């Protein structure tokens, strides 16, 4: 009798583990991890331990490191020419100008919501003294939380030979960061007005040219470089469960940005199949 029960239990576990593979939508992303945050369980993955470029998903690590080390986020600071001079022409920016008076809170939102490299560099220089100092602290955080397949050589996700992570470790990083209330608030924001009047909005709008229902995505960080492809680390809610979806290495076809398309297709699939 015990043997019969054991066999039935094993069959049940096997069925649960492969259930998401049955009828799973065809996706464009090369690397994927779907994680049930509520149940602390990986639901599905594709090459999630492959070390690859992750573009601006890097900023998840940069921003949580900054949050943990800024004592007073409402302190006012001034954008300098030195900060602007650190930016390459092709990086994503929030639109800060020399002389702008903003707070560190503003800069944190501007780093995440429109993925502003100008805001990231402003935090690094004004609070930590240099880009290198914040980078060192970010890599120390990576080691401290046990990410052995992640290393950063810049703060914003530029393609460099020793700058990489995996879908699995991006998910672990996001799980860690979401435990911080301020990070989660910023990560879940789609539109924001800085204290100097500058209006910013989520990169989701840029990548959602097909006008899909992005309300299904509670929080997100997107990224793109030619080496990393189109990436996303998203938080959603499926039948009462918080779920993280990390997609890396997606392509684009005209107005079809597959980081967004894949994520929404997965959310729709989970909503119909995950109980």
In this prediction, residues 152-167 reach a mean pLDDT of 98
pLDDT at 16 exceeding the cut of 50? no
In this prediction, residues 221-225 reach a mean pLDDT of 97
Residue 84 in contact with residue 120, Cβ under 8 Å? no
Residue 214 in contact with residue 208, Cβ under 8 Å? yes
Superfamily of domain 20-273: DD-peptidase/beta-lactamase superfamily (3.40.710.10)
The reported pTM is 0.91
Any residues with CB less than 8 A from the CB of 71 and at least 6 apart, and which?
A: none
Residue 97 in contact with residue 194, Cβ under 8 Å? no
Min mean pLDDT across 15-29, 136-150, 235-249 is at: 15-29
Note the pLDDT tens digit of each residue in 88-132: 988 999 999 999 999 999 999 999 999 999 999 999 999 999 999
The CA R_g of the chain, rounded to the nearest whole Å, is: 19
Residue 27: CA atoms inside 13 Å, Cβ hemisphere, count? 33
Residue 270 in contact with residue 34, Cβ under 8 Å? yes
> What is the number of helices (H) and of strands (E) in the chain?
10, 11
**How far apart, in whole angstroms, are the C-alpha atoms of residue 133 and residue 125?**
9
pLDDT at 6 exceeding the cut of 80? no
pLDDT at 238 exceeding the cut of 80? yes
The pLDDT of residue 215? 93
Note the pLDDT tens digit of each residue in 167-219: 999 999 999 999 999 999 999 999 999 999 999 999 999 998 888 889 999 99
pLDDT at 2 exceeding the cut of 70? no
pLDDT at 19 exceeding the cut of 90? no
In this prediction, residues 71-75 reach a mean pLDDT of 97
pLDDT-derived band at 275, boundaries 50, 70, 90: low
**How far apart, in whole angstroms, are the C-alpha atoms of residue 225 and residue 258?**
14
Residues of the chain above pLDDT 90, percent: 87
| Tokens coding 111 | 């780093």
């Amino acid at each position: 009798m015990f043997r019969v029960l054991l066999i039935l239990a094993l069959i049940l576990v096997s069925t649960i583990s492969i259930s998401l593979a049955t009828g799973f939508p065809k996706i464009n992303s090369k690397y994927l991890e779907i994680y049930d945050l509520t149940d602390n369980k990986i639901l599905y993955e594709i090459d999630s331990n492959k070390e690859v470029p992750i573009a601006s998903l890097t900023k998840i690590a940069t921003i949580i490191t900054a949050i943990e080390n800024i004592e007073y986020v409402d302190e006012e600071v001034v954008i300098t020419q030195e900060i602007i001079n650190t930016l390459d022409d092709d990086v994503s920016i929030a639109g800060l100008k020399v002389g702008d008076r903003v707070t560190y809170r503003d800069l944190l939102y501007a780093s995440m919501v429109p993925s502003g490299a100008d805001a990231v560099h402003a935090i690094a220089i004004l609070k930590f003294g240099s880009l290198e100092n914040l980078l060192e602290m970010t890599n120390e955080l990576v080691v401290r939380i046990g990410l052995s397949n992640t290393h950063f050589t810049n703060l914003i996700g530029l393609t460099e030979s020793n700058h990489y992570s995996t879908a699995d470790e991006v998910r672990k990083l996001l799980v860690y960061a979401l435990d911080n209330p301020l990070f989660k608030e910023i990560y879940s924001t789609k539109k924001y007005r800085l204290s100097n009047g500058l209006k910013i909005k989520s990169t989701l709008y840029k990548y959602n040219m097909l006008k899909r229902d992005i309300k299904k995505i509670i929080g997100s960080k997107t990224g793109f470089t030619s080496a990393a492809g189109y990436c996303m680390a998203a938080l959603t809610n499926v039948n009462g469960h918080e779920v993280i979806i990390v997609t890396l290495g997606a392509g684009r076809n005209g107005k079809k940005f597959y980081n967004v398309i894949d994520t929404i297709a997965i959310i729709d699939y989970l909503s119909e199949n995950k109980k």
